Structure 1
Amino acid sequence: MVFKKMLGAFGVGGPSVDTVLSSPSTRPGLVLGGQVNLTGGSHDAEIDHITVGLVTRVELDGAEEGDALVEFHRVGVASGLVLREGQQLSLPFQVMMPWETPVTDLYGQHLHGMTMGLRTEVAVRGAVDKGDLDPVYVHPLPVQERILDAFGQLGFQFKAADLERGHIAGAHQTLPFYQEIEYYAAPQYAHGVNEVELTFVTNEHGVDVVLEFDKRGGLFTGGHDSFGRYHAAHADADHLDWAAHVDTWIRQALDGYQNLHAGHGYNPPVQGYGAPSYPAAPAGYGQPGYGAPGYGYAAHGHPGGHYQEEHHHERREGPGMGAIAAGVVGGAALGFAGGMVADEVFDAFGDDEGGDEEG
């Protein structure tokens, strides 16, 4: 889209910029491609640099409670250019999506609470213009998709998704935030659990799956949180019964919590079937035949600490606007909150670029 504020930054007769994505849909670990189209104005312009950056909105806790616009990945497109009067240039770029990029869309439905965009920044003689946001739709990797499918098959109801600032203890996390996908508990677990929050920490080999359970309190006891941590290999996306595995994960974590508080200790079983065979290169994913044979699965119950930074955000009770039953129909739909067009999604960014952060 053409920059709306170009004249304000560079003066009347300055250059115009239009960033075009080859496709706005992508997945973690893939390449997001496009081109920056420049059109010279009424006079020559010395362009210091052109960059593109992935931008999203992150929840803040503590003293800075609220949210912030965060650019978490940036790629240079060009630098040291002279754009002549009326000249037209097309500059291609490729953005390697970080493996930990949060998911925003599933089966064509937008996850309520998520926003993602690509912003083009142009600097002309020291004047910097942060342009409009082009929407980016991040779909899950196959193994992430299978796990989300499993939650729907087990009867969990999607509540909302958001990004929390901070790091998960013990996880090899590269981004300054993590995604939480929140569910209302399925009936078979509702006697002990109110809600479940799911977090993926992904790399080229697989995903660490972190589950946080908001436990239901008894008559004389308050509710408590408990946690489970597990691992799933990319190569196992099409080789496991994920509904059965997710059910096992949940019951392990809840049983471990009960045993721990009963004074018995907890040593969860670890199942291993060999090393992951998923190729490290992102290009190996997304091609026909993805999911090469190979078994690499381990389950690790982790009822201990979860987050290194404070994680005391207020619980939101009751079925919010994003609460839609996540029932799977033929394994092809989860019922996530949909119907949000790009303009509505990007209203959430607002006009607050002066207060954004860079991750």
Structure 2
Amino acid sequence: MVFKRLLGSLGVGGPEVDTVLDTDAVLPGGALTGQVHMKGGGADFAVEHITLELVARVEAEHDGGESDGTVVFERFTVGGNFRLAEDERLSIPFSVVLPWETPVTELHGQPLGIALGVRTEVSVAGARDKGDLDQLSVRPLPVQEAVLEALGQLGFGFRSADLEYGHIRGTGQQLPFYQEIELTPSAQYAHQVNEIEVTFLADPGGMEVVLEADKRGGLFSGGHDAVTRFTVSHYDVGQVNWYAEVDGWMRQLIEHRAAYGSHGPHASYGHGDAYHGGGHHGHGGHHHDEGHGQRSGPGMGTVIAAGAAGLAVGVVGGMVAAEVVDEVGDFFEGDEEEGDEG
């Protein structure tokens, strides 16, 4: 086992650590399991705590433009208050639960360009040091995958994905940032829209889907953004005709020209209304109203299977894949030089 040098402030002979995750990819709201392997140094050391930090590379907009920074969005203490003897080898298992809003980093195994990591912090003999980052891969929840696959089947293509620092007004957002998945419009809407941005805000009962369209300007009017928000449930995912549902969302988003201040129905399924506790009423430019979508019969499974490659093809098509791999690699190589935010 190759240990990564830790606690450089203690010099030669300090303890070493290596954190190993059990699985290649996890789900938002799911368990992240693994082990922290420690190797004692040239003397006995008192280990005060072992903490795992979930970190993300996030873009922040400000007056000077945009900049990237590393944000810690969750911390878990997984051990501590023990003595590590000279040259002793010790393994500490852990199981922690990811936040439901943890961003998705891959679709059908293809990277989206989102850089997430697990960083191990160990406090020994009064010195606190952060180890190297381990890459964290997160695959979509079933309801997220259903929406993305429906978008692919409808002809929308993957353009890019990023994490934006800030809060979307009128939503139940918990993390200090949100994920935007940018899509190229289908042929049906290409003359009306430059791009579509999709944000998922999941919680234990369901998920808010925030859609934003960057509309093209007409001869006598400038372009503008339209925003709508829909609430869906984790339950009965296989019973919903997602192709028809998402198609309806897109028609509402794009064809309702007076998007700011106009009203349209949410799509609510199963426990969709209950889980949010009346939080449907948003603020600002977000679309909000009470309503119910109609359930459709089963049978989407075969359609989803047939069109599952929809957005994934766009992910691996051309330069996108190479660019996102480079960007994620830069994040892990350069993390130690970056300051933390949040």
Amino acid at match of 2:77: G
Partner residue in 2 for 1:10? 10
- Which residue of the partner structure matches residue 292 of structure 2? none
Structure-2 change in CA distance of 1:273 and 1:29 (3 Å): closer
| Counterpart selection for 1:335 from 309, 313, 322 | 313
Q: Determine if contact 2:29/2:100 at 8 Å carries over to the other structure.
A: yes
Return closer, same or farther for 1:183/1:343 CA change in 2, 3 Å cut-off. closer
Q: Which residue of 2 aligns with 1:243?
A: 243
CA contact (8 A) 1:37 1:91 kept: yes
User: SS at 1:235's partner residue?
Assistant: coil
Q: SS of the counterpart of 1:188?
A: coil
Deviation at 1:337, TM superposition (A): 2.6
Note the C-alpha offset of 1:301: 11
Q: 2:265 aligns with which of 261, 269, 273?
A: 269
Tell me the residue number matched to 2:296.
none
Within 5 Å, give how 1:47-62 maps onto structure 2. 47-62=47-62
Question: Residue in 1 aligned with 2:185?
Answer: 185
Q: Which amino acid aligns with 2:187?
A: P
**Structure 1 unmatched ranges of 5 or more:** 281-295, 308-327
Query: In structure 1, what is the equivalent of residue 330 of structure 2?
Result: 347
Residue 283 of structure 1: aligned partner: none
Hey, what's the Cα distance between the residues in 1 that align with 2:160 and 2:74?
24
Q: 1:270 to 1:260 in 2, by over 3 A?
A: closer
**2 CA distance for matches of 1:260 and 1:345?**
36
Q: Counterpart of 1:137 in 2: which secondary structure?
A: coil
Counterpart of 2:93, as a letter, is P
The answer to whether residue 288 in structure 2 is matched with residue 305 in structure 1 is no
Amino acid across the alignment from 1:26:
V
Contact 1:99–1:203, Cα closer than 8 Å, also in 2: yes
Give the alignment of 1:191-230 within 5 angstroms: 191-230=191-230
Q: Distance in 2 between matches of 1:14 and 1:269?
A: 61
| Equivalent-residue separation in structure 1 for 2:28 and 2:201 (angstroms) | 11
Larger fraction in helix: 2
* C-alpha deviation, 1:349, in angstroms: 3.5
Is the 1:26–1:139 contact (alpha carbons within 8 Å) kept by the matching residues of 2? yes
CA distance in 2, matches of 1:77, 1:348: 25
Deviates more, 1:100-109 or 1:70-79: 70-79
**Alpha-carbon distance, 1:240 to partner:** 1.1
**Cα-to-partner distance string for 1:308-337 (whole Å, 9 max, x where unaligned):** xxxxxxxxxxxxxxxxxxxx8822322143
Q: Which moved more, 1:139-148 or 1:241-250?
A: 241-250
Q: Cα offset for 1:143? A: 0.5
CA distance in 2, matches of 1:16, 1:354: 21
Q: In the alignment, what sits opposite 1:84?
A: 85
Distance 1:14 1:122 in 2: 12
Instruction: Tell me: CA distance 1:251–1:332, structure 2 relative to 1, closer, same or farther (3 Å).
Output: closer
Please tell me whether the aligned partners of residues 29 and 97 of structure 1 are also in contact (alpha carbons under 8 angstroms): yes
Alpha-carbon distance, 1:254 to partner: 2.3
* Letter of the 2:285 counterpart: G
Partner Cα distance (1:117, 1:260) in 2: 37
TM-score (norm 1): 0.80
Distance 2:152 2:188 in 1: 13
TM-score (norm 2): 0.84
Is 1:356 aligned with 2:339?
Answer: yes
Aligned counterpart, 1:93: 94
Deviation at 1:52, TM superposition (A): 0.8
Q: Tell me, yes or no, if the aligned pair for 2:170 and 2:282 is still in contact at 8 Å.
A: no
- Residues 86 and 186 (structure 1), Cα distance of their counterparts in 2 relative to 1, 3 Å cut: same
